[in-house]
Amino acid sequence: MAQTVQATKNIKQFLGETGELSYFAGRFFKEFLKPPFELKELLRQCYQLGNRSLVLVLFTGFIIGLVLTLQSRPTLIQFGAVSMMPNMVGISIVREIGPVITALICAGRIASGIGAELGSMRVTEQIDAMEVSGTNPFKYLVVTRILAATLMLPILVVFGDLVALYGSALVENLKGNVSFQLYFNTVFDALSYGDLVPATIKSFFFGFVIGLVGCFKGYYSKKGTAGVGIAANTAVVVASLLVFLVDFIAVFVSDIFYEL
């Protein structure tokens, strides 16, 4: 009995949270369209979320490209298809691994960062202070951050993809004596707009959910320093989950569009 009650409570909480998040997203679109626009803060956030995440994304992307190629080599050699490496790695990175890994890295860095920042601002009444000094904190803090995350993530994905491909090409160059030119020629030969376009669109959504969840968790953070920690933590967890959910939906949708 007690379990059922607990389960009902959990489901209610989950649905409530989903509703609140949806409302939060709706508020974003409402406020996003209304002036005044906090352009300066937007640029600052773009710098904070974009440039500051670049090194991390470059590093992870490079390692992923390297590892993916090294791990696939033996199998491809077994099938005598090692020359298909650029096609395989290229498509999997551009379509899936690049955007998703970048998004997860950003979920870890950006969502937790925003969650902690807004959470501590909430706890120390900075958000209230903003409100009473005539600045809409939702506009100033939330809209700029969500927008910055949405805009920056696709760019980060481009960089991530590039270094991942470079890492892969490096392995092929050193182990397989494939020139960089041949490698990238093959990659771009294998790729089509059907790979690049949905992945790029998907990245915008990744950025959006990361920013949204980070802001949501931080903005409605509970009182006290523990609240900040919880905000940052749940922001990462929920953002990562939503990234996968968005990815799943994106694959579905792009399948519909590109299977015609």
Partner 1 sequence: MEPTENIAVQTASVDQKKVVIDIRGLRKSFGENHVLNGFNMRLYEGENLVVMGKSGSGKSVMIKCLVGLMQPDSGYIEVLGKEIKTLDRETLDVLRSDIGFLFQGSALYDSMTVRENLEFPLRRHKEKIGQTGSTESRVLEALENVGLAHTVDLMPEELSGGMKRRIALARTIILKPKIILYDEPTSGLDPITSKEIIELMRSIQKKYRTSALIITHDVDCARVVSERMILLVDGTNYAEGTYLQLSSSEDPKVEAFFKK
Partner 2 sequence: MAKTTLENLKLGIFVILGTVLLLVAAYLIGNRQNMFGETIPISAVFKNANGLQNGNNVRFSGINVGTVNKIEMVNDTTIRVHMIIAEKMQQHIKKDAVAMIGSDGLVGSMLINIVPGKGNVTTIGPGDELRSLSKVATQDMLSTLNVTNENAALLTEDLLKVSRSLTTGNGTLGLLLNDTEMADNLRQTLINLKNTSEQANAAILELNEIVRKVNFEESTAGILLNDSVSALKMRNIITHLETSSIAIESTAKNLNAVVAEIQQGDGAINTLITDTVLASQLKNTMRNVDQGVERFNENMEALKHNFLTRGYFKKQEKEREKEERKAQKERQ
- 233-236: long-range pairs with CB below 8 Å, 24+: 233/112, 233/115, 234/115, 235/111, 235/112, 235/114, 235/115, 236/107, 236/108, 236/111, 236/112, 236/115
User: Judged by CB under 8 A, does residue 43 bind partner 2?
Assistant: yes
**Two tokens at 244?**
């996968």
**For partner 1, which residue of 22, 124, 179, 192 counts as binding (CB under 8 A)?**
124
Between CA 140 and CA 127 the distance in angstroms is: 10
Does 131 sit near partner 1 (CB under 8 A)? yes
- The partner in contact with residue 191, picked from partner 1, partner 2, none with C-beta cut-offs of 5 to 8 angstroms by kind, is partner 2
Residue 98 C-beta: closest distance to partner 1, Å: 31
For partner 1, give the closer residue by CB, 144 or 168.
144
Residue with tokens 């997860």: 104
> Count of H helices and E strands in the chain?
12, 0
Site string for partner 2, 169-208 (x = CB under 8 A): -------------------xx-xxx-xx---x--------
Site string for partner 2, 67-86 (x = CB under 8 A): ------------xxx-xx--
Question: Which residue lies nearer to partner 2 by CB, 32 or 188?
Answer: 188
Which residue is listed with tokens 């600045």? 135
Query: Minimum distance from CB of 116 to partner 1 (Å)?
Result: 11
